[in-house]
């Protein structure tokens, strides 16, 4: 049996300590992945420094984004889904369920097939690691019932969205973030026109991802400009990927639109009459969105090159010992890139 090591979080506020962890055994509907790369999200440093999730029990293993190779397959996993040796990306769910074996920041990780995707040889493990949590968060906010409930994406819709006849716009606020980068691509792949916000320096990046119009969030007139633009369209909803929730709520009020948010929504800031709700990314494992995105859409889209690696990885170091450097860099803020640590 291989040895396993993990970055253990012993208590809130501590830096992770790398030492041995039990080699995980998969349940019937689980996979074991040998990690080749991990990506770092804002929630990782938040959970390291703040008791954000009251159910967390220490010591634990944080981390949501992992890419690597399947080394064990549970007895209930169908042969056509995954096999030993498959190159995959996956959403690690350990911090949501208090199961250290499912924490991402370790060498061997237990994951659920419903939130794992095969990756082609053209996509490196470092590139693949940028996707899982950002992709899941965007997908929940855009497609789940109770949120924007958009039509699900397809590879065909991305290239033919002008012919779909939907005539609807999705506004992605914070488009240059990891979540925003995926939200833009997913909404385009579902056949919608996308408006998005970013700094002016990232306008070209967002348009490359598929955004039709981009607004400078720093502009003093940005709310008025966005409202004026969407008044001429049918707005399917607003997805708050990053940035000021207060601004998102202001736009939602002016456009009488639902705000689906990747960020916490202060109840005292929600204007009267506005409907707004925060996404919790792991919920897609329990509904049709998980298999539609991770199983049906993403593997084909990556293989055909119709879905871009976005944002590109910024490999900050190698080995679990480099995670703290990555967490600190992420806390300072990054735009249009994702911090990754490789083996």
Quote the pLDDT of residue 94: 92
Our CA angle for 292, 192, 131, nearest 5°, is: 45
- Phi then psi dihedrals of residue 293, to 5 deg: -85, -55
Distance CA 180, CA 183 (A): 5
Residue of 9, 97, 107, 95 whose CA lies nearest to 59: 9
Homologous superfamily in CATH for domain 136-282: NAD(P)-binding Rossmann-like Domain (3.40.50.720)
The pLDDT profile of the chain, 343 residues, written as one tens digit per residue, is 899 999 999 999 999 999 999 999 999 999 999 999 999 999 999 999 988 888 889 999 999 999 999 999 999 999 889 999 999 999 999 988 889 999 999 999 999 999 999 999 999 999 999 999 999 999 999 999 999 999 999 987 544 444 444 679 999 999 999 999 999 999 999 999 999 999 999 999 999 999 999 999 999 999 999 999 999 899 999 999 999 999 999 999 999 999 999 999 999 999 999 999 999 999 999 999 999 999 999 999 999 999 999 999 999 999 999 999 999 999 998 889 999 999 9
Order of strands across the sheet that contains 17-21: 17-21, 4-9, 60-61
112-150 burial code (b ≥16 CB/10 A, e <16):
bbbbbbbbeeebbbbbbbbbbbbbbbbbbbbbbeebbeb
Distance CA 106, CA 86 (A): 19
Provide the residue ranges of all domains of the chain, joining segments of one domain with +.
Answer: 4-130+311-342, 136-282
Distance CA 225, CA 193 (A): 17
Quote the pLDDT of residue 163: 45
What is the radius of gyration, based on Cα positions, of the chain?
19
Largest CA distance in the chain: 62
Mapped onto helix, strand or coil, the DSSP state of residue 280 is: coil
Q: Is the Cβ–Cβ distance between 226 and 190 less than 8 Å?
A: no
Residue of 331, 257, 328, 289 whose CA lies nearest to 144: 289
Distance CA 83, CA 91 (A): 18
CA 264 to chain centre: 15
Show the DSSP H helices in the chain as ranges. 42-49, 94-97, 125-128, 132-143, 155-160, 178-189, 203-209, 222-230, 245-255, 289-290, 298-304, 323-332
* Contacting residues for 228 by C-beta, under 8 A, at least 6 apart: none
Question: Is residue 187 exposed (0-12), middle (13-18) or buried (19+ Cβ within 10 Å)?
Answer: buried
Q: Is the Cβ–Cβ distance between 126 and 66 less than 8 Å?
A: no
Quote the pLDDT of residue 157: 53
Which pair of structure tokens corresponds to residue 214?
Answer: 């981009």
- Phi then psi dihedrals of residue 333, to 5 deg: 105, 135
Distance CA 64, CA 75 (A): 24
What CATH number belongs to 4-130+311-342? Answer: 3.90.180.10
What residues are paired with 61 via a beta bridge? 8
């Amino acid at each position: 049996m291989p040895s396993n090591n993990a970055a253990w979080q012993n208590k809130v506020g501590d830096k992770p300590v790398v030492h041995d962890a039990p080699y995980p055994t998969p349940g019937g509907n689980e996979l074991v992945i040998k990690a080749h790369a991990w990506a770092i999200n804002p929630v990782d440093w938040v959970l390291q420094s703040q008791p954000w999730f009251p159910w967390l029990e220490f010591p634990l293993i944080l981390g949501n984004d992992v890419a690597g190779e399947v080394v064990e397959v549970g007895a209930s996993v169908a042969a056509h889904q995954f096999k030993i040796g498959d190159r995959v990306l996956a959403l690690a769910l350990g911090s949501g369920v208090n199961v250290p074996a499912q924490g991402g920041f370790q060498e061997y990780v237990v994951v659920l097939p419903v939130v794992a995707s095969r990756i082609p040889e053209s996509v490196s493990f470092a590139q693949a690691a940028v996707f899982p949590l950002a992709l899941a968060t965007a997908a929940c906010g855009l497609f789940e019932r109770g949120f924007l409930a958009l039509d699900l994406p397809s590879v065909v819709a991305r290239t033919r969205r002008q012919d779909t006849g939907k005539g609807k716009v999705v506004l992605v606020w914070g488009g240059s973030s990891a979540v925003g980068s995926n939200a833009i691509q997913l909404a385009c792949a579902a056949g919608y026109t996308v408006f998005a916000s970013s700094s002016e320096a990232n306008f070209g990046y967002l348009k490359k991802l598929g955004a039709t119009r981009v607004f400078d969030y720093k502009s003093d007139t940005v709310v008025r400009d966005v409202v004026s633009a969407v008044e001429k369209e049918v707005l399917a909803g607003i997805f708050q990927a990053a940035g000021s929730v207060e601004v998102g709520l202001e736009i939602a009020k002016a456009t009488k639109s639902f705000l689906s948010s990747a960020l916490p929504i202060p109840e005292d800031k929600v204007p009267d009459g506005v409907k707004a709700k925060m996404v919790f990314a792991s919920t897609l494992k329990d509904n049709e969105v998980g298999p539609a995105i991770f199983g049906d859409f993403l593997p084909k889209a990556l293989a055909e090159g119709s879905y871009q690696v976005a944002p590109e990885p910024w490999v900050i170091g190698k080995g679990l010992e480099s995670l703290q450097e990555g967490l600190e860099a992420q806390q300072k803020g990054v735009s249009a890139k994702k911090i990754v640590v490789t083996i």
